[in-house]
Structure 1
Amino acid sequence: MLGAVRRQGLAQALRACAPRSIPSRATAQLVKCQKPSAISSLTTFRALHYSPAFRYAATGSGAAAQAQAQANGSALSGEERITQFQELADQDLVSPKIIYNITQKMNITTMTDVQSMTIHETLKGDDVLAQAKTGTGKTLAFLVPVLQNIFKDPSLEKRSASKWSTPADIRAIVISPTRELAEQIAMEARKLAQGTGVVVQTAVGGTRKQEGLKRIQMEGCHLLVGTPGRLKDILSDSSSGVKAPKLSALVLDEADRLLDQGFAPEIMEIQTYLPDPMKVDRQTLLFSATVPREVMSVVRRTMKPNFKFVKTVKEDEAPTHLRVPQKVVRINGLENSLPALLELTKNYLAKQREDPNLPPFKAIAYFNSTAQVTLAYEAFRGLLNDPSDRRSGHPLGRMFITEMHSRLTQGKRTKNSDSFRNARSGLMLSSDVTARGMDFPNVTHVIQVGVSRDRESYIHRLGRTARANKEGEGWIFVHPGEQGDFRLKLGDLPIEKDTSLQTAVVDMTAESQELPQSVAETLSQVSAAMKRVPAEVKTESYRSHIGVLIGVFERKAKMMQALNDLATYGYGLPEPPHISPEVASKLGLRGVPGVNSGSDSRPIRGDRSGRDDAPWMGRGRVRNNPFRDNDNLSYGRASGRRRFDSFESRRDSGRYMDRERRGSRDEGEY
């Protein structure tokens, strides 16, 4: 591309790299009115110069496309911004029915900055790349113009109670990286579309994917919200009857995450099943928290060359991870994590009883694997005030406690997320499936158990609190063996040390010690609850820890010692779970002290001797594939391929890669 710029000049290079499409009337007028001096505007230059997109533009093949975006400008300095939703109806820009649903049924009257800066632009018909943080109202920002374009279509003027949509009448498609976010977007779209006759459907994976297809076929669809793999499956299946010959809008939400998770091939393939842009004009909207190289690549291949770049992130605005109070707690051992989490929750509830003005405790606790989430949920669900009395009640009272990870069915995931969203007070134990894009109102705490796989994950997790101008705080529990990893990834963030949690520093391996009553009570409650957690759940959690920590601890022997202490003193197992010699060798653990890799694969059994630290655990045999943890997969940006942060046997790895070649994704479709 850079060579094309040198040989032919900027204008010809733009024509060579951009998709050919029919410019809308609004776009043509806007381009015609564009002043040549706009590119030299100091305000516009600064706004773009400090954005990631502009920095990339100066160094790579995105230069031509971004230069055109710079020419169009990213600020609305020449016109007064609309800030009230009612103004859109008063100026005949958006249907009064849609505005009524927003202002009267959803009780939203004033636009957020993202909405006021993008809705007016997108209503003009331009392709728009919007850089916007999550939690700023961007879902409404793209849904309003998309629904308005559907509603105003002259061919759909005669609406009635009778069916007027078919599976081949899709007018807009929204692509989301996760099922939860897709369901959330569809829920908002249905609220906006009440009384308009516009039919909103979802296309996500899980156990309900066939149910979703049948609903589209029976009820029709105008706006389809889905995840990449499932959308590709439906559109590529000629027998499904789902088509979009009159598509007017394509939206990529969380575009940077879509591409970071390796969905670029699916997105490109989806567009091959959409109408030819030379014959059917469509508007493309990309909303992204960041604008890295991968996003600009999709921009070049998807959007019109005269797209608008709207940056809604203020240069002087401190991001969430800089303005939210953050605390790090050093735990004595991995077995201290759950007691510390319980103590943290108890402490806040005690403060709330003294100060009724404090907001209700509502927290998301993030773990680095699905298996760890499952174990924490089983333990917290079984907590009792008095472990010897099942009728003594829960130490957290009637607080709503739930789990969220990719192994749940789609119906369960939707139910759990909706219940937590609507709960006044609650604790969600979660993997990274909720870390981006999900909006849970009034979250007061984000608690991260262990160092996340990368810096971005930490920041996006933290972003679930302090949303919509509310207050919140972040906590992270770090084992001494993770200190190097913590400093490397998060050392420059304003995270303060906290020593208020007494259970975090207790040596749980000591045979006897004097402890404050409250500390002893918390430890006893967690220990008793852990006895009721199935042995196979503990075994799988133990093995998933190896997948997370194998490259974090400097010495593998220290890692195994920490994990074996967790198994014995945290989980109450009589011995560390078995690891096959093949897997131990593959991980470089063969011969490492503490690795239980005998030649046999005996089931994990509990100790019936009556020891408190080794209760009977049942006779269930460990699952064949305890190492797999799909929530703990990440993607290499350079290659666009998955790498395994967790691990599995060669046989299961091969089986998984076969599924991968068929196009499935854990967090998206399947």
Structure 2
Amino acid sequence: MKQFANFINENLDEEPEYIPIRKQKIQKEELVKEKADEEEKEIVEGPQAKLSLLERRIKMIQNGETTQEDNLSRMERLKKEEEEILKQLEMKPLLAVSEMAKGVVYTEPIKTGWKPHPKINLMNRAKIQEIRRKLHIIVSGEDLPNPITKFKNLRFPKSLTEALKRKGIYQPTPIQIQGFPAVLSGRDMIGIAFTGSGKTLVFILPMILFAIDEEIKMKIVSGEGPLGLVLCPSRELARQIYDEIEYYSRSLEMGGFPELKIALCIGGINAREQIEMIKHGVHIVVATPGRLLDFLGKKILNLDLTRHITLDEADRMIDMGFEEEVRSVLDYCKSQRQTLLFSATMPTKIQNFAKSALIKPVIVNVGRAGAANLDVIQEVEYVKQEAKIPYLCECLQKTPPPVIIFCDSKQDVDDIHEYLLIKGISAVAIHSGKDQQERILAISQFKNGQKDVLVGTDIASKGLDFPNVRHIINFDMTKDIENYVHRIGRTGRCGKTGLATTFINKNQSESILLDLKHLLIEAKQKVPPVLLSLPDPQNELDMSLECSFCSGLGHTIRDCPKLKALQMKQMQISTGTTSDSLVGGDW
């Protein structure tokens, strides 16, 4: 028994020593510090001494160690990067220098005498939202005007509605339904809608009515005017808008309203006739920035009475380098004006820039900014570079004429034009290397049906209206997705269905092909296998992408080809390796 007791006493564990909690905490801190000192010593003197920061980072990840940055989601990091890049790309406010110098700030839109039909003001909120939802109208801003779905409720003169009917226009389109009330009530506006949606009427009809109202109150005399100004990026677009304003103003004149004097100020044609018109007083001027600034600088024209300014294809103007010219034009304005900006593609960057000059703007967006016209059937075909010209004739058999073929270079335009003429196809060509009379004749013959095919560079894609074009062929895929949207928008206009065929091959960058792929998916078009096979960042990141610089859906602003091209151009200009001239010579 005594032996058993001794065995038990010998094998029993010693009773653990009691350690106060405070002492335990101090011991733990000492152990952590000791371990950190050992790790630091190992980095400085031990095996990790020769590891680079990148190698240490990889080792941390392999060991499951994370930092605060690692805990941020990929989407948050991408958003943060985009915001930083956009900050670096911020443009100076689109304001007159004199206004900025004097600290002039306008807080309220201009006043007009227009009022909608009384029942429009009685529309309830649910009805308004239903109209916008049904027509895919996205509108933002303060004190938004109600949409108006019928011309009679806009209170247009009878002679104007008759003129619209003669052109086959009986009901306003979605951009007009929300745009007309905004513009007629004097609000500044950014209007974004797909090509062929009727944006031009939204600014020219109110401008004509405002000019008539002012003429009735007090006649324009020699040396005065204009009351309204339209700025365009190309001569062809300026002429087209001029013709439209002429048509509707003459229709109103035939209905008993005062005569309006309209002037076209563009380069490439004799300035004497333009000067002669301006000297006698003018109500509305349609111009390209270069010729307009020339007249303003020589005091041939002044903007003292100008109250309405429209930038058509606004984002295209900025892209083409007209930003400073637009600012210079605004410097000649003497008082507050209504400013309108319209385009089919207007990325976030351009919208933010545009807002800097607008007072309580109404932003009307029909669909997504930069989306393709859903009335256009898009076909994308892989064609080797050497096979493109022979394959053209086969593509031309898809639809009856008229057809437009777009190329990137003037040389390609001339080569294709010559090839088509040899094949007996009635064709004309247009590019910046041709003189203005040739360009005017080519557009006229194509519009009148005298020629079946128009071959051109992107100067033929800037807002030009060809209502009957059945087919667009992109001989060269564009360098950015915005140009593609504008090109294919020359067909499928005014509710008609059109076809767009685009040639692609290994010469195109992966970024633009991804943009094209997602544009096709968005428009519910057939996506060719060659595009489906591309590795897609959207799938890798598990998120949808949209570039805030060009509205492309296949990349973020970090990988934007348009931004890279712009940066390259700026670098070339700064180093003197290229001239800072505008493509197309539309000054």
TM-score, normalized by length of structure 1?
Answer: 0.57
Secondary structure of 1:474's counterpart equals: strand
Which amino acid is 2:398 matched to? Y
Percent identical residues: 24
Secondary structure of 1:193's counterpart equals: helix
Say if 2:417 is the partner of 1:377. yes
Secondary structure of 1:348's counterpart equals: coil
Instruction: State how far apart, in whole Å, the 2-side matches of 1:100 and 1:215 are.
Output: 32
1:493-541 CA deviation, whole Å, 9 max, x = no partner?
Answer: 3454499xxxxxxxxxxxxxxxxxxxxxxxxxxxxxxxxxxxxxxxxxx
**Aligned partner of 1:284 among 319, 333, 339:** 339
Instruction: State how far apart, in whole Å, the 1-side matches of 2:568 and 2:465 are.
Output: 27
Instruction: State how far apart, in whole Å, the 2-side matches of 1:480 and 1:638 are.
Output: 20
1:487 alignment partner in structure 2 = 513
Say if 2:420 is the partner of 1:361. no
Report if the CA contact (8 A) 1:444-1:473 is conserved: yes
**Aligned partner of 2:363 among 293, 302, 309:** 309
Say if 2:390 is the partner of 1:339. yes
Residue 127 (structure 1) shift: 1.8
1:225-275 CA deviation, whole Å, 9 max, x = no partner?
Answer: 11122222221222x2x1122112111111122222222211111011111
1:638 to 1:244, Cα distance in 2 relative to 1, 3 A: farther
Which amino acid is 1:177 matched to? P
Say if 2:313 is the partner of 1:243. no
1:498 to 1:368, Cα distance in 2 relative to 1, 3 A: farther
1:335 to 1:28, Cα distance in 2 relative to 1, 3 A: closer
Instruction: State how far apart, in whole Å, the 1-side matches of 2:223 and 2:561 are.
Output: 34
320-329 vs 116-125, which moves further: 320-329
**Aligned partner of 2:311 among 252, 262, 286:** 252
2:461 alignment partner in structure 1 = 435
1:472 to 1:25, Cα distance in 2 relative to 1, 3 A: closer
Q: How does 1:490-505 map to 2 (within 5 A)?
A: 490-492=516-518, 493=520, 494-497=525-528
Report if the CA contact (8 A) 1:27-1:126 is conserved: no
Report if the CA contact (8 A) 2:193-2:199 is conserved: yes
Instruction: State how far apart, in whole Å, the 2-side matches of 1:287 and 1:371 are.
Output: 32
1:98 to 1:481, Cα distance in 2 relative to 1, 3 A: closer
**Aligned partner of 1:111 among 172, 179, 195:** 172
Residue 166 (structure 1) shift: 3.0
Which amino acid is 1:193 matched to? S
Instruction: State how far apart, in whole Å, the 2-side matches of 1:370 and 1:43 are.
Output: 48
Q: How does 1:10-409 map to 2 (within 5 A)?
A: 19-20=105-106, 23-25=109-111, 70-73=141-144, 76=146, 81-84=148-151, 86-88=152-154, 91=155, 94-104=156-166, 106-153=167-214, 165-194=221-250, 195=253, 196-206=258-268, 208=269, 210-211=271-272, 213-238=274-299, 240=300, 242-277=301-336, 282-304=337-359, 306-311=360-365, 313-314=366-367, 319-320=371-372, 324-332=376-384, 334-345=385-396, 347-348=397-398, 360-383=400-423, 394=424, 396=425, 400-409=426-435
1:628-667 CA deviation, whole Å, 9 max, x = no partner?
Answer: xxxxxx996589778299x99x99x55x34xx4xxxx333
Where structure 1 has 5 or more consecutive residues not aligned to the other structure, the ranges are 3-14, 55-68, 159-163, 350-359, 384-393, 500-633
Instruction: State how far apart, in whole Å, the 2-side matches of 1:318 and 1:299 are.
Output: 16
Residue 437 (structure 1) shift: 0.9
Residue 21 (structure 1) shift: 6.3
Residue 364 (structure 1) shift: 1.0
2:583 alignment partner in structure 1 = 666
1:309-329 CA deviation, whole Å, 9 max, x = no partner?
Answer: 233x147x9943666332233
Report if the CA contact (8 A) 1:203-1:212 is conserved: no
Instruction: State how far apart, in whole Å, the 1-side matches of 2:378 and 2:347 are.
Output: 27
Which amino acid is 1:190 matched to? E
Instruction: State how far apart, in whole Å, the 2-side matches of 1:27 and 1:18 are.
Output: 25
1:125-161 CA deviation, whole Å, 9 max, x = no partner?
Answer: 2222222222111111111111100101156556xxx
Which amino acid is 1:348 matched to? K
Report if the CA contact (8 A) 1:331-1:480 is conserved: no
Report if the CA contact (8 A) 2:114-2:185 is conserved: no
Instruction: State how far apart, in whole Å, the 1-side matches of 2:488 and 2:227 are.
Output: 36
Instruction: State how far apart, in whole Å, the 2-side matches of 1:82 and 1:326 are.
Output: 30
Instruction: State how far apart, in whole Å, the 2-side matches of 1:288 and 1:126 are.
Output: 17
Report if the CA contact (8 A) 1:171-1:248 is conserved: yes
1:17-44 CA deviation, whole Å, 9 max, x = no partner?
Answer: 98326754459999xxxx9xx99x9959
Instruction: State how far apart, in whole Å, the 2-side matches of 1:498 and 1:435 are.
Output: 28
Instruction: State how far apart, in whole Å, the 2-side matches of 1:637 and 1:225 are.
Output: 30
1:456 alignment partner in structure 2 = 482
Report if the CA contact (8 A) 2:109-2:188 is conserved: no
Secondary structure of 1:71's counterpart equals: coil
Which amino acid is 1:669 matched to? D
Secondary structure of 1:72's counterpart equals: coil
1:117 to 1:642, Cα distance in 2 relative to 1, 3 A: farther
Secondary structure of 2:356's counterpart equals: helix
1:403-455 CA deviation, whole Å, 9 max, x = no partner?
Answer: 11111112221221122122177111111112231111121111111321112
Instruction: State how far apart, in whole Å, the 2-side matches of 1:412 and 1:226 are.
Output: 19
Report if the CA contact (8 A) 1:636-1:642 is conserved: no
1:74-93 CA deviation, whole Å, 9 max, x = no partner?
Answer: x726xxx2423x554xx4xx
Pairwise CA RMSD of aligned residues? 4.1
Residue 211 (structure 1) shift: 3.9
Instruction: State how far apart, in whole Å, the 1-side matches of 2:462 and 2:115 are.
Output: 37
1:219 to 1:416, Cα distance in 2 relative to 1, 3 A: farther
Secondary structure of 1:423's counterpart equals: coil
Secondary structure of 1:173's counterpart equals: strand
1:580-609 CA deviation, whole Å, 9 max, x = no partner?
Answer: xxxxxxxxxxxxxxxxxxxxxxxxxxxxxx
1:640 to 1:248, Cα distance in 2 relative to 1, 3 A: farther
Instruction: State how far apart, in whole Å, the 1-side matches of 2:567 and 2:451 are.
Output: 39
Secondary structure of 1:320's counterpart equals: coil
1:129 to 1:178, Cα distance in 2 relative to 1, 3 A: same
Secondary structure of 1:643's counterpart equals: helix
Report if the CA contact (8 A) 1:248-1:283 is conserved: yes
1:523 alignment partner in structure 2 = none
Instruction: State how far apart, in whole Å, the 2-side matches of 1:29 and 1:470 are.
Output: 33
Instruction: State how far apart, in whole Å, the 2-side matches of 1:139 and 1:319 are.
Output: 18
2:63 alignment partner in structure 1 = none
1:294-314 CA deviation, whole Å, 9 max, x = no partner?
Answer: 43344343222x232233x14
TM-score, normalized by length of structure 2?
Answer: 0.65
Residue 95 (structure 1) shift: 4.1
Secondary structure of 2:328's counterpart equals: helix
Point out the structure with max Rg over C-alpha.
2
Where structure 2 has 5 or more consecutive residues not aligned to the other structure, the ranges are 1-82, 84-98, 531-559
Instruction: State how far apart, in whole Å, the 1-side matches of 2:109 and 2:514 are.
Output: 48
2:28 alignment partner in structure 1 = none
